[in-house]
Amino acid sequence: MKIRVGVAQTATKDFDFDVTLERFRGLVQEASALGVQFLLFPEAFFGGYPKHTNFGAVVGLRGDQGRKDFAKYFNGAIAIPSPEADAIAQVSKEFNVAIGTGVIEKEGSTLYCSVLYVDPVVGIVGKHRKLMPTASERLIWGNGDGSKENLSAQKIQLAGGASVTVGGGVCWENMMPLLRYNYYQQGIQLYTAPTVDARENWLHTVTHIAMESRCFVLSANQFATTADYPAWHQEIMKSEFKAAGNDLADDAEIIGGGSCIISPLGEVLAGPLRKKQGILSAEIDLDDLVGARFDLDATGHYSRSDVFSLNINSN
In the residue annotation, 113 being an active-site residue is answered as no
Span 239-291, pLDDT tens digits: 989 888 899 998 999 999 999 999 999 999 999 999 999 999 999 999 999 99
Q: What is the rounded CA–CA span in Å between residue 71 and residue 65?
A: 10
Domain of residue 206, residue span: 2-292
Span 92-101, pLDDT tens digits: 999 999 999 9
In the residue annotation, 43 being an active-site residue is answered as yes
Res. 149 pLDDT band, cuts 50 70 90 = very high
- Compute the residue count for the chain: 315
Selected catalytic residue, list 171, 173, 215, 260: 171
* Class of residue 56 by CB neighbours under 10 A (exposed 0-12, middle 13-18, buried 19+): middle
Q: Quote the number of domains for the chain.
A: 1
In a domain, 305, yes or no: no
Per-residue pLDDT at 174 exceeds 90: yes
Among candidate residues 248, 191, 181, the one with its CA nearest the CA of residue 220: 191
Q: Quick one: CA dihedral 285, 205, 31, 98, positive or negative?
A: positive
In a domain, 158, yes or no: yes
Per-residue pLDDT at 156 exceeds 90: yes
User: In the prediction, which pLDDT does 244 show?
Assistant: 86
In a domain, 176, yes or no: yes
Domain containing 105 — which CATH number? 3.60.110.10
In a domain, 7, yes or no: yes
Q: What mean pLDDT do residues 215-229 have?
A: 98
In a domain, 65, yes or no: yes
Res. 315 pLDDT band, cuts 50 70 90 = confident
Selected catalytic residue, list 13, 43, 155, 212: 43
Per DSSP, the residues of 227-243 read GGS-HHHHHHHHHHHHH
In the residue annotation, 171 being an active-site residue is answered as yes
In a domain, 194, yes or no: yes
